[in-house]
Amino acid sequence: MEENLLGYLLGALDGAEHEELKEQIEREPQLRAQLALLEAGLVLLEAERWQYEPPNGLAARTCSLVTSYDSAGERTVQPASRDGLSPCYEPGGETSNRGWSVLDVVIAAGVFFAASLLFFPALSHSNHLAKKLACQKKLGGLGEALSQFAEKTNGYFPSIPSNGPYAVAGSYAPQLMNAGFVSQDSDFLCPGSESKKWMVSFRVPRHNELMGAPKTRVVIQQKQMGGSFAYNMGHFDNGQYHGPRNFGRSNYPLMADAPRLTSVGHSSFNHGGNGQNVLFEAGNVRYLTAPTVDPDGIDNIFVNDEEKVAAGLHPGDAVIGASGASPFRIHIRVISRSPDRP
């Protein structure tokens, strides 16, 4: 019966069979339920059908495959017609006037199913790649904004103070917006982010909103203000804290897709947990399948050398923190301003 229902959906039954099955479907709720399930299974293909051009000769090859089986289900060799097409295309031919048999429908369904096995993985890969590239473009744009910011502040990127509403990694976002280097809230969102519902209402808090908000509200803002991305939390050197500064290093991470603390190695889930885009100090962006940039694959960019989510322990220890992360979870008693900071 499923073959007949599929034929009914595809318009592959002849007039009498179609009307007979239609009446049966109207009488039997179970058949209507089966039909609804089959129809739901075709919705995804129908939605994408017009976005892709079929390869040349697909219809002819499919028809040739269907007509290569005899009534007993055995594969036979079918002679081509005089115009080179399979017999099912011959105008006025016997095959053009008959409806599809159950065997025809089964074979067509098999072709349909096999095509879907190839189509959906390819479509999924295409969507994943498009989101990854769009995310890289967003990071590249933020890299340009950070460089412009550093030009105005003696080479320093947005710094993270030791207290107050800006005392988290995500404060880079309102600092860039307040300074006018980024104008769109959406620039801080990765198209591949898992937090799509939250992304719809995302907005970077402005300076007056941060300074005037109650403490409970500030905590929420701190966790969200950095959007889908994470930011370099600076480092300690001889007990003194230094914010990130632009030395133009092409292998020193400055930003990345936000990490997820519950995943292995804190890898980001912005791209299905398969990797993360990383923006480097020189402005270049790379996609890394593991959250490491060193040749040995040991130095995790989301934790410091003590494997803590906090500021780096030396100038070469880059740590990329999610929006609500604080650089000062350790060494809190030795925090002081660097004399060369603006």
Using the CB atoms, write b or e for 144-170: b if 16+ within 10 Å: ebbbebbeebeebbbbbbeeebbebbb
Give the model's pLDDT for residue 292: 92
Q: pLDDT digits over 187-212, tens only?
A: 999 987 766 556 678 899 999 889 98
Residue with tokens 């179970």: 30
The pLDDT confidence band at residue 66, using thresholds 50, 70 and 90, is low
Please give the DSSP secondary-structure letter assigned to residue 121.
Answer: H
The reported pLDDT for the residue numbered 79 is 47
| 141 vs 47, residue with greater confidence | 141
| Cα-based distances in Å from 31 to 13, 34, 35, 38, 112 | 16, 5, 6, 11, 22
Out of 39-43, 188-192, 322-326, pick the least confident: 39-43
Residue pLDDT, tens place only, 119-166: 555 445 567 678 888 999 999 999 999 999 999 999 999 999 999 999
pLDDT of residue 87: 46
Report how far residue 303's alpha carbon sits from residue 290's, in angstroms, rounded to the nearest whole number.
Answer: 13
d(CA 251, CA 341): 23
Dump pLDDT digits (tens) for 75-129.
555 544 444 444 444 444 444 445 556 566 656 666 666 655 555 554 455 676 7
Per the CB < 8 A criterion, the answer to whether 65 and 107 are in contact is yes
pLDDT of residue 192: 77
What are the residue boundaries of the structural domains of the chain, listed by start? Answer: 2-124, 156-334
pLDDT score of 69: 56
pLDDT, mean of residues 234-249: 94
For residue range 262-321, what is the model confidence (pLDDT) as tens digits?
Answer: 887 888 988 888 899 999 999 999 999 999 988 777 899 999 999 999 999 999 999 999
Q: 122: closest CA among 130, 111, 134?
A: 130
CA 6 from chain centre, in angstroms, equals: 33
Per-residue pLDDT at 2? 61
Q: Give the lowest-confidence range in 41-45, 89-93, 332-336.
A: 332-336
pLDDT on residue 117: 55
Q: What is the length of the chain?
A: 342
